[in-house]
Amino acid sequence: MHRRTVLGFAGTTLLGVPGLIGCASVPATPRMTTVVKIAGIPWFNALDAGMKKAGDAFNIAASTVGPATVDPAQQVKLLEDLIARKVDVIGLVPLDVKACAPVLQRARTAGIRVITHEGPDQEGRDWDVELIDSVEFGEIQMQRLARELGERGDYAVFVGTLDTPLHNKWADAAIAYQKAHYPRMKLVAGRFACGEEIDVAQAKTRDVLKAYPNLRGIIAFSSNGPIGAGNVIREQGLARRIAVVGAVLPTPAKSLIMDGIIREGFLWNPADAGYAMVAVARLVLNGSDIKDGTDIPGLGPARVDVPGKRIKVNKIVRINRATIDGLIASGL
């Protein structure tokens, strides 16, 4: 993925934004490192690009690190290393909020600020930044799947891990919506963990197809889940019978979208998320007042839950045959 193109999609006008000039109480160039769910996949490469652009804009040395596999214990070790390195701000996209909470509390005790993304219930943070409404994000994907299935038939839900916070919130919302609106649809099992890796999602899809031969749909709430599922649907010649929807990046999903295997994808721009995390970090370091309606660089006016320390805007993007070329051209 071409970094400059990705950053262009995140494009933010910085002039005239209040509260973004460094003050004497923080280092001249504070250091911020975000621990992502897994290193090296397109989604978090885009988030890293957005962070670096914001770092240049707001005078913060911004970077990302992540485990080699989807492993909460590895995330915890990386967080402990950042505390030992005495960075100024830790960012986190958590795999397991319970596992991360104690180490984040130690970070806060050490004077390190903490900004999370995809972690609205993560304890030990200063602020969480979200670019979607979690309930709506799950519901619109169920609406799309139900349309493909004619509102009837068996379906499965994939998540990254059974402890990944937002994946499971989206799944909860989608399943609740199905039960309330589509009684002739049936969830075949609770949900299946397929990590963030295509080969893991492919293996899980093959297992699910064997176990549930009447399956007609899959919702995959991890960025590589729809691709892994779509690859197996294609290789087994099941594209007409089984519909796939889910959270996915346009570029790696294009052939599956154009072939009608992934019927529609949904996401927000991860580059925007990385940009916003650094922008919020700068506001926090400056001691700026963040309240409902505050203009967050990269997001615009935000809904801010001050007691809950949550910053939210709704930036859902739909990926289908009509939109995919434009999204790819923008860097996604």
Beta bridge partners of 310: 128, 305
* Residues 134-267, CATH architecture: 3-Layer(aba) Sandwich (3.40)
CB atoms within 10 A of CB 99: 16
Phi, psi of 221 (to 5 degrees): -100, 45
Q: Where are the domains of the chain?
A: 3-132+269-315, 134-267
Q: How confident is the model at residue 94 (pLDDT cuts 50, 70, 90)?
A: very high
Q: How far apart are CA 217 and CA 285, in angstroms?
A: 46
Q: How confident is the model at residue 25 (pLDDT cuts 50, 70, 90)?
A: low
pLDDT tens-digit map of 202-243 = 999 999 999 999 999 999 998 889 999 999 999 999 999 999
CATH of domain 3-132+269-315: 3.40.50.2300
Q: What's the DSSP call for residue 287?
A: T
CB atoms within 10 A of CB 110: 12
User: Quick check: pTM over 0.85?
Assistant: no
Q: How far apart are CA 19 and CA 12, in angstroms?
A: 16
pLDDT tens-digit map of 113-160 = 999 999 988 999 999 999 988 899 999 999 999 999 999 999 999 998
Strand blocks (E) in 181-316: 185-187, 192-193, 215-221, 243-247, 262-267, 295-296, 300-301, 303-305, 310-312
Q: Do domains 3-132+269-315 and 134-267 have the same CATH topology?
A: yes
Reference 154, options 173, 128, 182; nearest CA is 182
Contacts of 65 (CB under 8 A, 6+ apart): 33, 34, 35, 36, 39, 78, 82
pLDDT tens-digit map of 174-213 = 999 999 999 999 999 989 998 778 999 999 999 999 999 9
